[in-house]
Amino acid sequence: MGIAITMNDVSENDAARTTPPNEPRKRPWIVAVVGGVASGKSLVRQILAEWGAVAIDADRIAHEVLDEAGIADQIARAVGRAVMGPDGTVDRSTLARLVFGDSPEARSRRRQLEAIIHPRVRDRIRQELARATQEDAPVVVLDVPLLLEVGWRDLPDEVLFVEAPEEVRRARATLRGWSDAEWRQREGAQWPIERKRAASDVVMDNGGSPADLRKQLAQWWQEKTGGGPLRQASVPP
């Protein structure tokens, strides 16, 4: 049977209380989720979204940018026509093979791709953040895997690092269908784990079960929202 996670020290009256009309509404607390490849960043985003956070997924935004008019041609000119699929759109798996990795060629292609994509992704993230501040949400969670690497630390109030042992992350990547070479390429495109961890404000251990992660996040949520209520969430044993 699942376990219901709630904030036990928050009464129903507290949960229903709203900001008085004459007081300015507080903006949401913005947290960015980072970590190594297959560490569980998306799971953190999903859990916080279940509890009422506004979730902003940079990968989703990047995919939308790839579909913008003219972007495919810019990318093809920058990294090669091999990235174009038969339907005239960018073949994302081919693109990933060309830009991920630590070779000089891969790094060069990645820099060219980032020069095209990143300004547009950042603009969209800022637009979504602006909309989120108008919503009645206590938290906004940014799932931006390379936030630290690309210098976007100014966007969130806090950086949350999701930690998991390498063997666990490799096993999760295998379940996604990634080869060991693909895992190494994607890991090589990021800062070393130790550097990323040191640059973060808080660490969540995701080497165990999803239930363990939820318990840590529940404590964090209470601290950041001043004991604000969690939506009921079923946690597997």
The CATH architecture one would assign to domain 27-235 is: 3-Layer(aba) Sandwich (3.40)
Q: What is the mean pLDDT of residues 138-146?
A: 93
Question: Does residue 12 carry a pLDDT above 50?
Answer: no
Let me know how long the chain is.
237
- Predicted pLDDT at 228: 57
- What tokens appear for 54 in the block? 């506004």
Q: Which residues contact 120 (CB under 8 A, 6 or more apart)?
A: 65, 68, 71
Question: Does residue 216 carry a pLDDT above 90?
Answer: yes
- Residue 9 pLDDT class (50, 70, 90 cuts): very low
Pairing of strands 234-235, 3-4: antiparallel
- Residue 52 pLDDT class (50, 70, 90 cuts): very high
Identity (one letter) of the amino acid at 127? Q
Q: In degrees rounded to 5, what are phi and psi of residue 137?
A: -120, 135
Largest CA distance in the chain: 61
- What tokens appear for 177 in the block? 């269908």
- Predicted pLDDT at 191: 93
- Residue 181 pLDDT class (50, 70, 90 cuts): confident
Residue 190 near residue 196 (C-beta atoms within 8 A): yes
Question: Does residue 184 carry a pLDDT above 60?
Answer: yes
Q: Print the SS3 string covering the chain.
A: CCEECCCCCCCHHHHHCCCCCCCCCCCCEEEEEEECCCCCHHHHHHHHHHCCCEEEEHHHHHHHHHCCCCHHHHHHHHHCHHHECCCCCECHHHHHHHHCCCCHHHHHHHHHHHHHHHHHHHHHHHHHHHHHCCCCCCEEEEECCCCCCCCCCCCCCEEEEEECCHHHHHHHHHHCCCCHHHHHHHHHCCCCHHHHHHCCCEEEECCCCHHHHHHHHHHHHHHHHCCCCCCCCEECC
Q: How far apart are CA 75 and CA 63, in angstroms?
A: 13
Domain residues of the chain, as ranges?
27-235
Of 189, 186, 129, nearest to 154 by C-alpha is 129
- Predicted pLDDT at 230: 56
- What tokens appear for 45 in the block? 């985003």
